[in-house]
Amino acid sequence: DERIETGTGTGDYNGTVTLGTTSTGSGYDLKDGGRGGHRTYDLNQGTSGTGTLFHDADDVWGGGRQSAGVDAHYGAATTWDFYKNVLGRSGIKNDGVASYSRVHYGNAYVNAFWSDSCFCMTYGDGAGNANPLTSLDVAAHEMSHGVTSNTAGLRYSGESGGLNEATSDIFGTSVEWYANNANDSGDYLIGEKIDINGDGSPLRYMDKPSKDGASRDYWSKDLGRIDVHYSSGPANHWYYLLSEGSGAKTINGVSYNSPTYDGKAVSGIGRAKVEKIWYRALTTYMTSTTNYAAARTATLSAASDLYGASSAEYQAVNAAWVAINVR
Ligand code: ASN
Ligand code: ZN
Ligand code: CA
């Protein structure tokens, strides 16, 4: 006899949060009573299967092996809520069905990933200076790979691969803002909590992607030949520019300075509209082979649907593409 419960948990990143759990008669499982019944498992350093479903005596979670589970479960729940409440999507396939999360993958594994074959998210513990890979923006990034896979299906190489990666950074960031969590306030950085570089710097920067030393700020004809985590740069930059505008700005204590290809200033229309435009483009107009030029027309079509072909939003979308050298 299972009952839907609401527990509390304290992981590594988000302070004390509420967690969807299920009472089993003897304790509680880390299985959400809503959100398609999302479950979170401890792989216990294994690399296959599901390991064991997290279980707890009093529904107060965290500490030891549970901390990564708390953050992964919270990340999946928050991402589910963002897609449902902001974009009207019910789960990765829009069918109300949950994926699941696995934490403590392998030994000192410094990555996280979405898998189409298990329809699940997996997180490593990190190594050396890197913390567990379970921060909110990373969790939302990985879960969004599931959404991309089940919508546009952007092929994970060439320019479409960069757009696939950017889609995960765009919604990873959108979810972080949506969560409004005091311990992980919204920013335009990716992975700023996991300290993957060991010097406090984030994995990626959306205002000026080249700050990571490898990502591109602008489209160029060789973009499709570099790693997808670097060819995502121009699209991440487009999202920042269209949300916040070019130039210098400090938001939630983080300083940004976003350049444009031709040095001409562009103004932002706010993240809320940009999320809706990218989502409609992804789910209505993009396909497995969409490149940067086609992403431009996809977002213009989406902006036209949402705000009209003669709207200020439509013009701003176009200006942001020009600002990353797509016209
Ligand atoms: N964390 C990486 C990503 O989501 C894993 C990978 O490269 N497949 O892109
Ligand atoms: Zn990714
Ligand atoms: Ca972030």
Q: What is the pLDDT of residues 103-120, one digit of tens each?
A: 999 999 999 999 999 999
Residue nearest to atom 4 of ligand 1 (CA): 113
Quote the ligand 2 centre to 169 CA distance (angstroms): 7
Compute the mean pLDDT over every residue in the chain, rounded to the nearest whole number: 98
Please check the confidence at residue 129 and state whether its pLDDT lies above 80: no
pLDDT > 70: percent of the chain: 100
Quote the ligand 3 centre to 191 CA distance (angstroms): 6
Atom of ligand 1 nearest to the CA of 133: 1
By the 10 Å C-beta count (0-12 exposed, 13-18 middle, 19+ buried), 241 is classed as buried
For the stretch 61-117, pLDDT in tens is 999 999 999 999 999 999 999 999 999 999 999 999 999 999 999 999 999 999 999
Global ipTM: 0.94
- Among 62-71, 125-134, 154-163, the range scoring the smallest mean pLDDT is 125-134
Is 5 one of the catalytic residues? no
Average pLDDT of span 164-175:
99
Rounded distance between C-alpha atoms, residue 58 and residue 153, angstroms: 42
Phi, psi of 22 (to 5 degrees): -135, 130
Rounded distance between C-alpha atoms, residue 89 and residue 82, angstroms: 9
Please check the confidence at residue 150 and state whether its pLDDT lies above 80: yes
Pocket test for ligand 1, best of 101, 102, 111 (most atoms within 8 A of CB): 111
Is 142 one of the catalytic residues? yes
Whole-number pLDDT of residue 1: 78
Quote the ligand 1 centre to 112 CA distance (angstroms): 6
For the stretch 259-269, pLDDT in tens is 999 999 999 99
Residue nearest to atom 8 of ligand 1 (CA): 113
CATH number 3.20.20.140 is the correct assignment for the domain at 3-149: no
Could you say which of 142, 165, 176, 275 is catalytic? 142
Quote the ligand 3 centre to 73 CA distance (angstroms): 18
Could you say which of 73, 104, 229, 237 is catalytic? 229
Residue nearest to atom 2 of ligand 1 (CA): 113
Whole-number pLDDT of residue 254: 98
pLDDT bucket at 315, cuts 50 / 70 / 90: very high
Whole-number pLDDT of residue 179: 98
Atom of ligand 1 nearest to the CA of 141: 4
CATH number 3.40.630.30 is the correct assignment for the domain at 158-323: no
**Residue labelled with tokens 């009952």:** 3
Nearest ligand to the C-alpha atom of residue 205 = 3
- Residues in contact with 139: Cβ distance below 8 Å, sequence separation at least 6, in sequence order: 71, 72, 74, 75, 76, 78, 79, 101, 112, 121, 123, 172
Strands of the sheet with 39-42, listed across from one edge: 52-53, 39-42, 100-105, 120-124, 112-115
Whole-number pLDDT of residue 130: 72
Average pLDDT of span 189-201:
96
Quote the ligand 2 centre to 162 CA distance (angstroms): 9
Q: Among 188, 194, 186, 82, which residue's Cα sits nearest to residue 134?
A: 194
**Residue labelled with tokens 């706010």:** 270
Q: Where in the chain is the domain with CATH 3.10.170.10?
A: 3-149
Nearest ligand to the C-alpha atom of residue 166 = 2
Phi, psi of 274 (to 5 degrees): -65, -40
Q: Where in the chain is the domain with CATH 1.10.390.10?
A: 158-323
What lines the ligand 1 site, CB under 6 Å? 111-113, 141-142, 145, 165
User: In this structure, which residues have their CB less than 5 angstroms from ion ligand 2?
Assistant: 168
Average pLDDT of span 122-144:
95
pLDDT > 90: percent of the chain: 98
Residue nearest to atom 6 of ligand 1 (CA): 113
- Residues in contact with 110: Cβ distance below 8 Å, sequence separation at least 6, in sequence order: 124, 126, 127, 130, 133, 196
**Residue labelled with tokens 């997996």:** 122
Contact 130, 195 (CB under 8 A): yes
Whole-number pLDDT of residue 230: 98
Atom of ligand 1 nearest to the CA of 142: 4
